[in-house]
Structure 1
């Protein structure tokens, strides 16, 4: 069988819970995954898949060549079942083209009752989390969808690497928090703000938390540096120093996690650590990471969930004071105890 999942990192990580459901429903079956080249490395050591292949369908140049490459690759697979976890116009187009060129995969599972799918659920009310829609699709195919959080195969190399990081920075299990204060630069309105994160870090440290760890990527270096400059040596700034597989391993021993709506939060949700995700212009009903250990916090304003790229006031974030976030995190940690 063939699984399709492209999209952004957060969506791909979320889908790994579905991969787990499918693997458990078809023990011993040969399962292939088609994803984007940038995410292929996530599944290098994933025993659920016999094959992982990637075609850069998002590249602006050479689109027809890549479409032909994809059709040839899938046709050569002789699949009897395709599960489309992408379910957008592009995946529907490609599967339709596959049918038109004579490759008739018998069972085609998607989330809409329309061609090219012959297995799909009833339409769900909107807005709906992508996971809810995908789980409904699997259930329509008789696949139990119950895995509560993402499942990634974390290489031993990264286990050893995180062990070294924790020893180097004196990070002891249950005695540090992880903050993810950034996000993609283009979506900067999703950032709660360096000053607020710094105030929250100082509050937790004053309450006895030994270390606060900052995690982020290249777009978030300045944000993390601004936080570090207003905190003491107890703050550990690992922004730009971690690999993707390091993130869940660093998060699992932490006491708590506070994050913006960012791909890193989805990686953190592989862990069972209590996590608060701060939402402003994006809808928690659509973007919340998986897991019963994860909650979201959002201001009550008429303009929330606007998904705008610019804003003159950014009230959705300024109304969420450090004290309010601190109180919600404290409640979350107490509930998890």
Structure 2
């Protein structure tokens, strides 16, 4: 793509899982920077819609509803075909782009040897890297500020859950790790959705410090605002790590069977650890403590 092209309208087809969507935002931001006068429409699902609610650069959001099956897909195609796009970018590759009216079409690149941020940028033939982003509304910032109003110390955010059991480090281990980190963080904030609240009781049984449990208590964008105020986020291979990285908070991800070279949170301040056997249950708290401390020393303190 050439910067001096006359581009009035762009279609951007993103992914579904929260973490995957965050990793597509550098591609979206590159398009916005290159064609700053263009109107950009986004196609995603109900989960990804949340991340674009406060994006000032988006024109329309078209929701792809899998529950409606073929009828829903046909309805979406009819809506999209009412428009003509100068450029259409599909990072999903489910055939939708075939039906879109567009001057230039860019498809998903299949390269599993590089990080997803780089792979998505390759789809639009872009070499320079823009960091992931997330857009947070003022109301979410205010809610986060209110929740943390009584805390003047460094905050450690912890994500106990993930979307599969094989990716979840035992809750007892997280609690023991937080006990080891008490000299560095006076407050632990548990972040996650409602299903992650099942881990809270076991965590509080072992952890002896101050903790605020927000599992299932606040929405995704308020969680992002909370993470923005944290010094460090430690969690499993999940979308929360990518959100933390996008708001410029240091992250440390504990991987099970995943692929860190492709899916670790983006950036130099994003550390990770994976057992040689890719068995997350075998990883001991003292090993993570040692690696977290090394990572914190290498990236320094977060500037507020």
TM-score, normalising length: structure 2: 0.89
* Distance in 2, Cα, partners of 1:208 & 1:268: 19
Instruction: Report deviation, 1:42.
Output: 2.2
Quick check: 1:257–1:273 contact (8 Å CA) kept in 2?
A: yes
Secondary structure, aligned partner of 1:10: helix
Q: Distance in 2 between matches of 1:46 and 1:11?
A: 17
- The equivalences for 1:42-191 within 5 A come to 42-56=51-65, 58-59=66-67, 62-87=68-93, 90=94, 93-96=95-98, 98=99, 104-112=101-109, 124=111, 126-138=112-124, 140=125, 143=126, 145-148=128-131, 150-167=132-149, 170-172=150-152, 175-184=154-163, 187-191=164-168
Specify the SS of the correspondent of 1:192.
coil
Q: CA deviation at 1:145?
A: 4.2
Report the structure, 1 or 2, having the larger strand content.
Answer: 2
> Contact (CA 8 Å) 1:5, 1:84: kept in 2 or not?
yes
Following the alignment from structure 1 to structure 2, what is the Cα–Cα distance between the partners of residues 225 and 18? Answer: 40
Higher Cα Rg: structure 1 or 2? 1
- In the alignment, the residues of structure 1 paired with residue 71 and residue 46 of structure 2 have an alpha-carbon distance, to the nearest angstrom, of 16
The SS at the match of 1:31 is strand
2:233 is equivalent to residue 251 of structure 1:
no
The change in CA–CA distance for 1:145 and 1:69 in structure 2 (over 3 A counts) is farther
C-alpha distance 104-246 of structure 1, shift in aligned 2 (>3 A): closer
Displacement after TM superposition at 1:132 (Å)? 2.3
Q: Which residue of 1 aligns with 2:248?
A: 272
* Offset at residue 224 of structure 1 (A): 2.2
How far apart in 2 are the matches of 1:44 and 1:176?
Answer: 27
| CA offset digits 1:37-94 (Å, max 9, x no partner) | 33223212211111112131x22xx42212221221111011121011213xx2xx22
Instruction: Work out which of the residue numbers 30, 34, 42 in structure 1 matches 2:43.
Output: 34
Q: Distance in 2 between matches of 1:136 and 1:291?
A: 18
Q: Is the 8 A contact 1:45 1:155 kept in 2?
A: yes
TM-score computed with the length of structure 1 as normaliser: 0.81
Number of paired residues?
Answer: 291
Cα distance in 1 for residues equivalent to 2:70 and 2:247: 40
Structure 1 residue 104, shift from structure 2 partner = 4.6
Cross-structure match for 1:203: 180
RMSD of Structure 2 on Structure 1 (CA): 1.8
**Residues of 1 paired with 2:54 and 2:60: CA distance?**
11
Distance 1:228 1:322, change over 3 A: same
CA distance in 1, matches of 2:280, 2:49: 34
**1:239 lines up with 2:215 in the alignment:** yes
Unpaired runs of 5+ in structure 2? Answer: 1-9
Q: 1:161-220 deviations in whole A, cap 9, x for unaligned? A: 0110001xx3225x2211111113xx0111111110010011111x24211111111111
SS in 1 for 2:121: helix
Question: Which of 208, 226, 229 is residue 205 of structure 2 equivalent to?
Answer: 229
